[in-house]
Amino acid sequence: MTQPHTIQQTEEAISGRLGELNLDFEAMWAVSNVYRASAAIRNHLEQSVLRDTGLTWTGFVVMWVVWIWGESESRHVAAEAGISKGTLTGVVKTLESYRYLKRAAHPSDKRRVVLSLTSNGERLMRDLFPEFNKEEAFVVKELDSTQRQELAGSLRTIVQHLENNGSR
């Protein structure tokens, strides 16, 4: 079985295959590397910190959103987590079965759903997040403080641009 190609191998293969086309290769590398880094980070955190919790990446993100923002409408949680409302429904069912999350009808509109962490969910996040953060530090270990700040700033700029101008 072959190993996945390195970023350098991929970039060389793309240049060889598409070099004669008028393309913005810098944009391609930047977006491709963001995607590959994101997938690698997600996989690393799922295999290290989340493995023994029963949480998927998406389940963790949903819990994170509710932990940070407190009781929230499901549509807002889905938007903050970057998932569809349909995906959120399945994740919420799983998190409810673990007794990490509970849902209730909105006080003024029974058609809307409000999500909150249970005491078990609060305890899990409080206990789990320091370990999660240690792995975040491991992920960026090769970057100095200035590089970390520049990376965060660059990614923030991309996110803000897409939030403000996303649909073309």
Assess if residue 2 is contained within a domain. no
pTM over 0.95: no
For 101, phi and psi rounded to 5 degrees? -140, 150
pLDDT tens digits for range 40-80? 999 999 999 999 998 999 999 999 999 999 999 999 999 99
Q: Answer whether residue 11 is part of any domain.
A: no
Is the pLDDT score of 1 beyond 80? no
10 found inside a domain: no
Domain annotation covers residue 3: no
Residue 148 · residue 140 · CB < 8 Å: yes
pLDDT at 167 > cutoff 90: no
Please report which helix (H) or strand (E) contains residue 72, including its range.
strand 72-73
Is residue 149, in this structure, part of any structural domain at all?
yes
- Check residue 112 and give its pLDDT: 85
| pLDDT for the residue numbered 139 | 96
Q: What is the pLDDT of residue 121?
A: 97
Whether residue 15 lies inside any domain: the answer is no
pLDDT in tens, 119-144: 999 999 999 999 999 999 999 999 99
Query: Measured between alpha carbons, how far apart are the two ends of the chain, in Å?
Result: 41
Residue 166 has pLDDT above 70, yes or no: no
Q: Is residue 1 part of a domain?
A: no
State the CATH number of the domain containing residue 87: 1.10.10.10
Residue at 138 is within a domain: yes
Number of structural domains (the chain) is 1
Model confidence at 10, in pLDDT bands (50, 70, 90)? confident
Domain span holding position 86: 23-165
CA distance 77 to 66: 7
